[in-house]
Amino acid sequence: MIKLPQEYLDNMKELLKDDFKDYLNVFNDDYTHSLRINTSKISVRDFLKINPFNLTKIPWSDDGFYYDKNDEVSKHPYYYAGLYYIQEASAMLPGLALPIEENDLVLDACAAPGGKSLKLANKLNNTGLLISNDISVSRSQITLKTLETCGIKNAYITAQDINDLNNLDNSFDKILIDAPCSGEAMFRKDPSLIKSWLDKGPDYYQVIQNSIIKKAISLLKPGGMLLYSTCSFSIKENEEVIEYALSLDDKLKVLPINQYDNFMPGITKNTKNCVRLYPHKIKGEGHFVALLQYGEHINTNKINNTIVDKPDIPFFKDIDMSFSNGKFIQRDNRLYFEPNHDLNLKGLRTLRSGLLLGEYKNEKFEPSHSLACALKYNQYKNILNFSLDDNRVIKYLKCETLDVKDKYVDGIVLVCVNKYPLGFGIVNKGILKNKFPSNNRYK
Ligand SMILES: C[S@@+](CC[C@H](N)C(=O)[O-])C[C@H]1O[C@@H](n2cnc3c(N)ncnc32)[C@H](O)[C@@H]1O
C-alpha cells in the first residue's frame, strides 16, 4: 500500500466525508489503462474493425477506451502509425468538454506532452489554428513528436511562459489550461509525485494557477471559452482558482458540462457547474474540469478554407493531398505549409509552424517524416505496404535496412502497415534505406 502524507489524508477526509473509505480502497486496485483513437487518422468505427486489443468504451468519451493491462499497446505498429494515443481516462474530459468548432483559433496554453492538444486538433479537423504552447522547451519537443506522429497539419508548437504571450490579447476563440498542479489524482499511477507534493503542495501551485488563468482571460476573444483543468483534488487548486478568475471580471461565467454517471459537482457557490472526477466514483484517476465563457460572442471573420496549389517540385506530382487554408513558406532549406492566421506570433520561441514538408539537401527535395505521417495511404503514388505479421514492420520501426526485393518498388516509398503510413524510405535495387527517425525508434 502506498503511504500517503497525513496532511493529504486529513484534507481528503474533510473533502470526501463518508466516501473517504471508498477513496482509500482504490489504492488496493491497479490504476486504469486507456487509450484514445486519433480520429485525424482513423475513425473510431474503422479502428474497431482492425482493433487488436481488449477494449471497453469509456462512458464520457466518444473515442476513448479502456484496454486490458496485458495489451501491449505501446509496442504495436498501429501505435507507431499514430492511430491512437495512450491517455488516462479522466484526462480525456477537458479536450472533450471544450466546444471546439471548425476554423476556431485555439490556444492550448500548457500543452506538453500534447495529449489534450491532440484531441483539440482532432476536433479542429485540420481547419483553423491550434497553438500548442508550454513553458518547457524539452516537454514541447514531446508535443511536437505527438502531433507529428498523429499527422496534425495546422498546429504551431511554441515554448513560452503564458505570461509572455504578448500581443495576443483578445485573440482566441477557445483556450485550454490544463494547469501545472500538485498531481494528487496521479498518486496511484505515479507514487513518486507524493514526494513532490510534500515539497510543493496546493499552496505553491495556486499562485501559479491564478497567474495563468488571469493571463488566459486576457487572451480570449469576446464570447471566447476557456477550459480549466487539473489532476488535483484540492479546493485550493480548483474551485478557489475559478472563484479568483470570476472575481477578476464580471463578464466571466461558468458554463455547464455534459453530465455522466458519478460526475460530481464543484464545491463552492459559483462552481456547481464544474466537474470533479474521483477514482472511487468513476473508472479513472481523477480530474477537475471547469468551462468558462468571457462575455458575449461577436461575429468575427473566421479563416477562409481556400484550396492552394501544390508547390512546383517534382516530388509533389506524386502527392494527392489537398492543401487549404494556408501557404507554403521556405525557411532556410526547409519547406513548410503554414496555416493562415492574423496573429502576431513574432518573437515567440517556435518549435514548429504548421506542417514541415521536407528539406532541400544538395538541391534535392527530401520529404519529412511529418509529411509521411500526415499522408493517407491513397495520397502517395509509391507505396510499400506490409501486412501486420511481416517481421519487416518491426525492423523498419527499429530503423534497420530492409531487403524488399519481393515488393518491386523503387525510389522514395511511403512505408505502410496494413495500409497505415509509418514513414518514408528510399529503395534502390530492392534494398530499403530507412528514413524512420531514430529518436522515434521501436523499443
Ligand atoms: C499538467 S501538464 C499539461 C499536460 C498536457 N495538457 C497534456 O494533456 O499532455 C502542465 C504543463 O504546464 C506547463 N507550465 C507550467 N507553467 C507554465 C506557464 N507559466 N506557461 C505555460 N506552461 C506552463 C508545464 O511545463 C507542464 O507541461
Which amino acid, one-letter code, is at 113? P
Q: What is the pLDDT of residue 304?
A: 62
Count of CB atoms situated within 10 Å of the CB of 336 = 20
- Closest residue by Cα to atom 13, ligand 1, is 110
What is the distance in A from the centroid of ligand 1 to the CA of 18?
Answer: 33
Question: Which H, E and C letters describe 272-324, residue by residue?
Answer: CCCEEECCCCCCCCCEEEEEEEECCCCCCCCCCCCEECCCCCHHHHHECCCEE
Q: What is the pLDDT of residue 221?
A: 96
Please identify, by atom number, the ligand 1 atom nearest to the C-alpha of residue 116.
Answer: 8
Which amino acid, one-letter code, is at 10? D
- Closest residue by Cα to atom 18, ligand 1, is 161
DSSP 380: B
- Kindly list the structural domains of the chain, giving each domain's residue range(s) and its CATH number in brackets, ordered by start: 91-374 (3.40.50.150), 380-443 (2.30.130.60)
pTM of the model: 0.97
- Closest residue by Cα to atom 11, ligand 1, is 110
Question: Considering only CA atoms, which of 127, 46, 185 is closest in space to residue 302?
Answer: 127
Contact 21, 9 (CB under 8 A): no
Which amino acid, one-letter code, is at 309? D
What is the distance in A from the centroid of ligand 1 to the CA of 176?
Answer: 10
Please identify, by atom number, the ligand 1 atom nearest to the C-alpha of residue 163.
Answer: 19
Q: What is the pLDDT of residue 325?
A: 87
Nine cell digits for residue 190? 505515479
- Closest residue by Cα to atom 17, ligand 1, is 135
Residues in the chain predicted with pLDDT less than 50, given as ranges, are none
Taking each helix axis as running N to C, give the angle between helix 202-219 and helix 239-248, from 0 to 180 degrees, rounded to the nearest 10.
40
Q: pLDDT tens-digit profile of 294-341?
A: 998 777 666 566 888 888 999 999 999 999 889 999 999 999 999 999
Q: What is the pLDDT of residue 133?
A: 98
Q: What is the pLDDT of residue 2?
A: 86
Contact 152, 116 (CB under 8 A): no
Q: What is the pLDDT of residue 305?
A: 67
What is the distance in A from the centroid of ligand 1 to the CA of 89?
Answer: 18
- Closest residue by Cα to atom 12, ligand 1, is 110
Q: What is the pLDDT of residue 29?
A: 93
Q: pLDDT tens-digit profile of 61-78?
A: 999 999 999 999 999 999
- Closest residue by Cα to atom 15, ligand 1, is 180
Q: How far is CA 254 from the centre of its chain?
A: 24
Task: Give dist(CA 315, CA 66) in Å, integer.
Answer: 41
From residue 291, alpha-carbon distances to 96, 97, 229 in Å are 11, 8, 9
Residues listed for the chain: 443
Return the exposure string of 340-377: e unless at least 16 CB atoms fall within 10 Å of the residue's CB, then b: bbebebeebebbbbbbbbbbeeeeebbbbbbbbbbbbe
Which amino acid, one-letter code, is at 352? R
Task: Give dist(CA 165, CA 308) in Å, integer.
Answer: 30
Contact 367, 357 (CB under 8 A): yes
What is the distance in A from the centroid of ligand 1 to the CA of 178?
Answer: 7
With a Cβ cut-off of 6 Å, ligand 1 is lined by 91, 109-116, 134-136, 139, 161-163, 178, 180, 208, 212
Question: Considering only CA atoms, which of 276, 252, 246 is closest in space to residue 264?
Answer: 276
